[in-house]
Amino acid sequence: MLQALLFFMQGIPESIGLFACCLALARVKLRWEVILPFAGIMTLVIYVVRSLPVTFGLHTVTGILLYTLFIARATRVPPSSSFIVSFAGFALLALLEVIMYELIGNLFNTEVSQLLLNDYTQMLIGLPQALTMIAVALVIAKYRKPLEGMWRI
């Protein structure tokens, strides 16, 4: 139960940042009233997929496909572009994850593998990365001006 709570405490902000980044890259206006519920649903879906006894990493493929589908259906972004921005968002998330783990590991003079053993540490390292994703999305949206009328919903 505690592990699930910690997952959602990190996962929801991470999904918010990821979805906002994808939308900003696609030049879709950031509508937080759409982003927040979708991020909550995606976090739940990712949690369920990660809980299944399947190959690790399937949750990433599932996430990319679901983000692509939602962006293509809810906006006027073509499916090919939706896939590209979804993949780019996940790639940015992976890059930030590596940077944060290395940074924290060097800061505390600890191996990254040791940081992953503790659920609390894992969640605390994930929060700055999630906040960074949200900040990156806001910066992208500022400099890459959203196009008008991109939302269908």
- Determine the pLDDT at residue 101: 86
Q: So what's the pLDDT on residue 130?
A: 94
How far is the CA of 105 from the CAs of 5, 11, 21, 96, 111, in angstroms? Answer: 24, 21, 26, 14, 6
Tell me the whole-structure pTM to 2 decimals. 0.93
pLDDT of residue 115: 78
- In angstroms, the CA 48 to CA 33 distance is 24
Left if phi > 0, otherwise alpha if psi is -120 to 50, otherwise beta: which for 147?
beta
Q: Each residue of 98-115: pLDDT tens digit?
A: 998 889 889 889 888 887
| Low pLDDT (below 50) residues in the chain | none
Residues 64 and 93 sit within 8 Å (Cβ to Cβ): no
Round to whole Å and give the CA distance between 137 and 24: 6
- pLDDT confidence of residue 16: 98
